[in-house]
Chain A
Amino acid sequence: MTLRFAGRTISYVVLLLIAAVALAPFLVLLIISFKARIDVLEVPPTLHFDWSTISENYRIVMHDDGFITYIKNSLIVTFASTALALAIGVPAAYAFSRLEFRGRDNWASTILSFRFMPPVAVAIPIFLMIQYIGLTDSYLGLILPYIAFSLPLVVWIMIGFFDEIPREIDDAAMVDGCTRVGLLFRVMLPLVRPGILVSAIFGQIFIWNEFLVGLYIINSQDRGTIPIGASSLLTTESPVDWNIAAAVGILTVIPMLIFSLLVQRWIVRGITAGTVR
């Protein structure tokens, strides 16, 4: 009895510890974002909670630093790229799951292996290409490469979801009068909605965070996504205004936090899609 009790107590302590380690960096950032510039340097760190300082910090970020524009840009680019990647990737995944053609599995593996391609290997040619067609500093200049980067993941996840649907359903729909393409839209799409959700989520996470390629395609503040726009502020080794940088960090984290709480179940499903099947 007592041994069991002790065991459970230890378990709860470990649980708290895990939560603390996972959250500590976020909390520290949050606390810094509450401080005035001078107070950041205080040792030991103390908690400041002065409403005027907080609102001043976040106001600077939102307005003076144009964070609102970044959020808007991020939303546009992420949404458009994901939607287009799905439009291209889902039919391809269906073909890989259902059609029989020579070298099918090799083709599939090749496409999926692009998921692991080091972005630097293509960053420069892509940058030059976008420059050549005159799309630097435009949404499309980001969207085009982002589709290519998220496409392999979409195909990978969707193949798994299509494979789970019995082929008899295809057969039945074809006997009922559908063409192959018609049945994809009329019968399959509603059935793989969870898969579409999962791959959309992963596409979004990737695009929301990408900045290696985007950093050079976008030069003007007007078109930067959050990581691109904020990177100059965030990546200097010692920002002058730690409190402002922290506020930027927090504002970057918050959408992801909300997002992850909403779709947690699907994220887990996406991560495991490659293994537990």
Chain B
Amino acid sequence: MTSATAAPRRGAREKRLASPTQRRGEAFFLLGPCVLYLVVFSIYPLVVSLIRSFQDYDTRKNSWRWIGTDNYSQLFSSSDFWSIVEHTLVFSVAGVFIQVTLGTALALFFNQRLRGSAIVRGLLILPMLITPVVVGLMWRALLNPEWGLVNWVFIKLGFHNIGWLSDPGTALRTLIMVDVWQWTPFVFVIVYARLQALPQDVFEASAVDGANWWRRTRYITLPLLLPAILFAAVFRGIDAFRTFDLVFGLTNGGPVQATSTLSYEAFQNGFKYQHYGYASAISYVMLIVAAIGVTVLFKVVNVRREDVS
């Protein structure tokens, strides 16, 4: 009896079930809300942006007009755009390079036992938790050309008064400096955690072998830390590339666009001048770069750990 009915039923069953412990309804129940939510509040806006990037918004008539790739060609032929691309890249690459270097150095420094170092480690987390508007405020106070503490110290030391935020040649460097102040701790935390997780016997063995501190660091510690450093660098790189709020809080893109990033430029065009289409085109250029960055990131780190059976 059973064998006669087994064949047709089996086909039906395979369609219905991936496994007896895993029913389709459950997957929908667990994943559905998340997917649905992201479709509505992330994917749909992205699609709208994509369409807008081929359109022009007429503020008076409150209507959209299809203009093909005009926004993009206008963008790519604008020298302003390319100089902003350059700022953004300089800001991201230089900033992240310094952060990674300093963050790794800090991790190595904190690897020794010092009384009170735990407290300082705790303080280091604070900068990255502060809203960038306030970060901007703090640094504008510190760097104020007339009464700021930094310039006062500089003059006491015999330097010139520096226009940290007012000199177009210096402003981008100042922006990088503040970003370094805020985000070096992020790199530090990642690299330090990795350093703590390394097996101690490797270091002991190399110390017994007579390697000095520098050689141990150069040939053993740093190579072992490399994956963490790489991860932090790519992660920070993508975030720095889309930086908006620090610019907003510190320089407003000025002086004369010297510190404008792509995000800030898109924001200005979109919300201030209501060039929605043009702004969308800028964000799509950014999105493509960010997507490349994310692809690299997921090569560096496995999203899902391999199943250990």
Contact = CB atoms under 8 A, between A and B. Distances in A.
Interface of A: 8, 11-12, 14-15, 18-19, 21-26, 28-29, 32, 40-45, 87-89, 91-92, 94-97, 99-101, 104-105, 108-109, 111-114, 116-126, 128-129, 144-145, 147-148, 151-152, 155-156, 159-160, 163, 167, 170-171, 174, 179-181, 184, 205, 208-209, 211-212, 216, 226-227, 230-231, 234-235, 237-239, 242, 245-246, 249, 252-253, 256-257, 259-261, 264, 267-268, 271-272, 274-277
A245 B137 contact: yes
Contacts of B211: none
Contacts of A12: 114
Given A18-B120, A40-B147, A101-B18, A28 B244 contact: no
B125 to A, nearest CB: 6
Given A28-B141, A111-B38, A118-B287, 13 more contacts: A18-B124, A92-B31, A99-B18, A118-B286, A121-B287, A123-B270, A124-B52, A151-B37, A159-B303, A180-B22, A252-B131, A274-B231, A274-B235
A103 B232 CA distance: 27
B139 A25 contact: yes
Interface in B199-234: 227-228, 231-232
B189 A19 contact: no
The interface centre, meaning the residue of B131, B132, B304 with most chain A CB atoms within 10 A of its CB, is B131
A235 B190 contact: no
Nearest to B48: A125
17 contacts: A21-B181, A23-B123, A25-B139, A91-B30, A96-B31, A100-B18, A100-B22, A116-B294, A120-B242, A125-B48, A126-B45, A148-B40, A170-B21, A227-B134, A256-B130, A260-B122, A275-B227
Nearest to A212: B244
B147 A43 contact: yes
B304 A264 contact: no
Contacts of A226: 131
> Is chain A's binding surface mostly helix, strand, loop or mixed?
helix
Given A89-B34, A148-B38, A253-B134, A246 B141 contact: yes
Nearest to B139: A25
Interface string B283-300: 110110011011001100
Contacts of B44: 125, 129
B146 interface: yes
Main secondary structure of the interface of B (DSSP, over half): helix
Nearest to A94: B30
Contact of A116 (B123, B227, B239): B239
Contacts of A15: 114, 116-117, 120
Of the four ranges (under 10, 10 to 19, 20 to 34, 35 or more), the interface on chain B belongs to: 35 or more
Interface in B220-267: 227-228, 231-232, 235, 238-239, 242, 244-245, 248-249, 252, 262-263, 266-267
A147 B36 CA distance: 12
Contacts of B34: 88-89, 91-92, 111, 151, 155
A138 to B, nearest CB: 16
Interface of B: 18-19, 21-23, 26-27, 29-31, 33-35, 37-38, 40-42, 44-46, 48-49, 52, 106, 109, 112, 114, 116-117, 119-120, 122-127, 129-142, 146-147, 149, 152, 181, 185-186, 189-190, 193-194, 197, 227-228, 231-232, 235, 238-239, 242, 244-245, 248-249, 252, 262-263, 266-267, 270-271, 276, 279-280, 282-284, 286-287, 290-291, 293-294, 297-298, 301, 303-305, 307
Contact of A114 (B21, B42, B239): B42
A237 to B, nearest CB: 7
Nearest to A255: B129
Nearest to A239: B137
A200 to B, nearest CB: 14
Contacts of B290: 116-118
